[in-house]
Amino acid sequence: MAETLKIGVIVGTTREGRFADKALEWFEKKIAAREDMSYEVLDLREAALPFFDEVAPPAAKPVTDPKAQAWGERLKHFDGFIVLTAEYNHSIPASIKNAFDYAFEGWQRKPLGTVGYGGVGAARAVEHLRLVAINFGMVPVAGAVSIGGADFVKASQGTPISELGDHLEGPAKALLDDMAFWGWAAKNAKDEAEARKAA
């Protein structure tokens, strides 16, 4: 079997009754159908990271909390990440920012995609998350899924996202296509850089 990219699908909210589970159920079918990538769900509820309380950022000094250490090590095994995010007060949930703050190397020079949901499809949260990602040298991809407006209302009331219509199919494919393109571009560039160092 040809080599595939390994993508981490991050479930970004941790509250009870979260919409993220509906988005994940729908999106998993899309990414599972791809032959050019595999994926693993990274649920921030299960990661149970404490609120950031280190003496220095991970870029300057290794973290000391065991859960944070495990989180950082886990991230290193992925070639890119797709974050399922809500929008809290025009930005990303604190759980997502905390997860980014608690690691460094595992994020670096990898693509970042988003599945946003909420009244405006988490548009403002996604833009903030892209700025955070750039700080780690990540590549925020253009393709994105936005579940907003009437779609969000219907899905919140119990309509499966798969029954909302096929208008979300194109964005999902564009997101995954971008993740594949930039995932391989970044992976190959990093491999070439390591080879030059070793030469």
CATH label of the domain that carries residue 101: 3.40.50.360
Distance between CA atoms of residues 30 and 173, nearest Å: 8
Domain hosting 96: range is 5-198
pLDDT above 90: percentage of residues in the chain: 94
Check residue 42 and give its pLDDT.
98
Q: Burial level of 94, CB count in 10 A (0-12/13-18/19+)?
A: middle
Neighbours of 163 (CB within 10 A): 9
- Which stretches of the chain drop beneath a pLDDT of 70? 1-2
Residues 6+ apart with CB under 8 A from 148: 116, 117, 118, 119, 120, 121, 122, 123
* Phi, psi angle pair for 70, to nearest 5°: -65, -40
Check residue 199 and give its pLDDT.
81
Q: What is the pLDDT of residues 134-159, one digit of tens each?
A: 999 999 999 999 999 999 999 999 99
Check residue 25 and give its pLDDT.
98
Check residue 27 and give its pLDDT.
98
Q: Where is 179: in which H helix or E strand?
A: helix 169-198
User: CB–CB of 140/104 below 8 Å?
Assistant: no
Check residue 93 and give its pLDDT.
98
Check residue 85 and give its pLDDT.
98
For the chain, how many structural domains are there in total? 1
- CA torsion, ordered 192, 7, 116, 87, to nearest 10 deg: -90
Q: Mean pLDDT over all residues of the chain?
A: 96
Check residue 1 and give its pLDDT.
38
Check residue 140 and give its pLDDT.
98
Report the candidate in 91, 90, 84 with the shortest Cα–Cα distance to residue 129: 91
Residues 6+ apart with CB under 8 A from 59: 104
